[in-house]
Amino acid sequence: MAEDINVLVVDDSALMRKLVSTMVDQTPGLHVVDTAMNGKLALEKIPKLEPDAICLDLEMPEMNGIEFLRERKKRGITIPVIVLSSIAEKGASVTMEALSLGASDFVTKPSGAISVDVAKVKDRVSELLLAYGGKYRRFKKPNAALPPMPGASLPPPHALPEKKIVPLTKPGKVELIAIGISTGGPEALRVVFANLDPDLKVPILVVQHMPAGFTLEFARSLDKICPLEVKEAEEGEMVVPGRILIAEGSKHLEVERVGVGGIVHLSDTPPVSGHKPSADVLFASVALGYRNHALGVIMTGMGRDGAAQIGSIYREGGLTLGQDEKSAIVYGMPRVAFEMGHVMEQVPLSNMGQRISQVAKASHL
């Protein structure tokens, strides 16, 4: 019988503790093992409860969420933390500080305190707790029976369709790298960017599914740990070798090839593949403009965004990489791309930064 993922809810509001607990307990596969009104009490309860995931507010008395994350890191506690806080929306820099201190992801708490408002974020909170809590439980108890993680199971090899796409030409020099990523992305991109080669002289464009108002601070936080420059993309700016541009939250990111360079464009058109920004939109523009001079990378995420159009890069003769099942928090997007025959090589997260650098630099030899 599958074991529920045990969640510790930490919030100073008694009403929010009750509402969030009800929301979590109503999700199949999740169970609230206890609650705490601040970080200090949460730290006291962790050794006894051994939760699989923590749902954390940031604004709390005595020990707030940031202080809790610092102490968690100091004590070597690896239990994944999902931030659910109103300050996440009001203070993007505080949210990014939480991520830099080891929080796995974040959800903005609804403005109201009634159950209908909390219900608006139920699916997202549940998705993250199932994904991160399930991954942690698999690491802690490899043989434990767990509720299925969304998009996690891969059919046996004989069930996979044969690759039907035939590249139109051979790969050329990589002149642009495009990355599509979603659930698990904030944590994964920190690992990838920290391990990129400082001498990598190829522009990188990134679509990370993230709401408006956060990507500017997200880019700044990544810039601190990456040997290359990282910034939020701006309409009409040139792509520059060795610079990473992050798509602005809630706007699509495209690139236009102009002579030997490229210009990025931001658009407010409707969501594609259920997302805005969409990896499919970015990959399609990369395939059109850079053809066999592109490297497409698809990583952890729910659903299938990017899976179809990374195939356009492959079809044009470009190179493609996908994150492997074992290291992905949610093996959804890379799984679909792999099953469609659009991924040339699957790579573990720990090696992704190095592999991207190797592939891009080798193409210039």
Residues 199-223: tens digit of each pLDDT: 999 999 999 999 888 999 999 999 9
In tens, the pLDDT along 173-191 reads 999 999 999 999 999 999 9
Nearest alpha-carbon partner for 335 in 292, 303, 358? 303
Q: Specify the length of the chain in residues.
A: 365
- When computed from its CA atoms, the radius of gyration of the chain, rounded to whole angstroms, is 21
Catalytic one of 4, 85, 104, 209: 209
Residue-wise over 148-179: b if at least 16 C-beta within 10 A, else e?
ebbbbeeeeeeeeeeeeeeeeeebbebbbbbb
CA 155 distance to own-chain centroid: 23
305 is catalytic: yes
Partner residues linked to 265 by β-bridges = 254
CA 340 distance to own-chain centroid: 21
Residue 281: CB atoms within 10 Å: 25
- pTM equals 0.90
Nearest alpha-carbon partner for 210 in 277, 304, 265? 277
Q: What is the pLDDT, as a whole number, of residue 163?
A: 52
- Rounded to whole angstroms, how far apart are CA atoms 121 and 45? 26
pLDDT confidence band for 156 (50 / 70 / 90): very low
pLDDT for 109 beyond 50: yes
pLDDT confidence band for 164 (50 / 70 / 90): low
- Rounded to whole angstroms, how far apart are CA atoms 52 and 135? 9
Asked whether 110 and 116 are in contact (CB, 8 A), the reply is no
Show the beta-strand stretches assigned E in the chain: 5-10, 30-36, 53-56, 81-85, 105-108, 176-181, 204-208, 229-232, 243-246, 252-258, 261-267, 294-298, 319-323, 345-347
Q: What is the pLDDT, as a whole number, of residue 157?
A: 39
Residue 92, token pair as written in the block: 């993007």
Catalytic one of 182, 278, 285, 357: 182
Asked whether 296 and 290 are in contact (CB, 8 A), the reply is no
Strand 243-246 and strand 229-232: the pairing is parallel
pLDDT for 320 beyond 60: yes
Residue 68, token pair as written in the block: 């809790």
Q: What is the pLDDT, as a whole number, of residue 145?
A: 59
pLDDT for 317 beyond 90: yes
Q: What is the pLDDT, as a whole number, of residue 139?
A: 82
Asked whether 172 and 292 are in contact (CB, 8 A), the reply is yes
- Rounded to whole angstroms, how far apart are CA atoms 65 and 41? 12
In tens, the pLDDT along 130-154 reads 999 999 998 876 666 566 555 444 4
Which residues, other chains included, contact 330 with Cβ-Cβ below 8 Å and sequence gap of 6+? 127, 131, 149, 150, 151, 152, 182, 183, 184, 300, 301, 302
Q: What is the pLDDT, as a whole number, of residue 89?
A: 65
209 is catalytic: yes
Q: What is the pLDDT, as a whole number, of residue 153?
A: 43
Instruction: Give the mean model confidence (pLDDT) for residues 120-125.
Output: 87
Catalytic one of 105, 305, 327, 342: 305
Asked whether 241 and 201 are in contact (CB, 8 A), the reply is yes
- Percent of the chain past pLDDT 90, that is, above it, reads 79
In tens, the pLDDT along 263-312 reads 999 999 999 999 999 999 999 999 999 999 999 999 999 999 999 999 99
Asked whether 277 and 207 are in contact (CB, 8 A), the reply is yes
pLDDT confidence band for 252 (50 / 70 / 90): very high
User: What domains does the chain contain, in order, with CATH numbers?
Assistant: 5-140 (3.40.50.2300), 157-362 (3.40.50.180)
Q: What is the pLDDT, as a whole number, of residue 146?
A: 61
pLDDT for 237 beyond 80: yes
- Report the mean per-residue pLDDT for the chain: 90
In tens, the pLDDT along 39-78 reads 999 999 999 999 999 999 999 999 999 999 999 999 999 9
Q: What is the pLDDT, as a whole number, of residue 258?
A: 92
Instruction: Tell me the CA distances in angstroms from 130 to 72, 194, 305, one per residue in order.
Output: 21, 27, 20
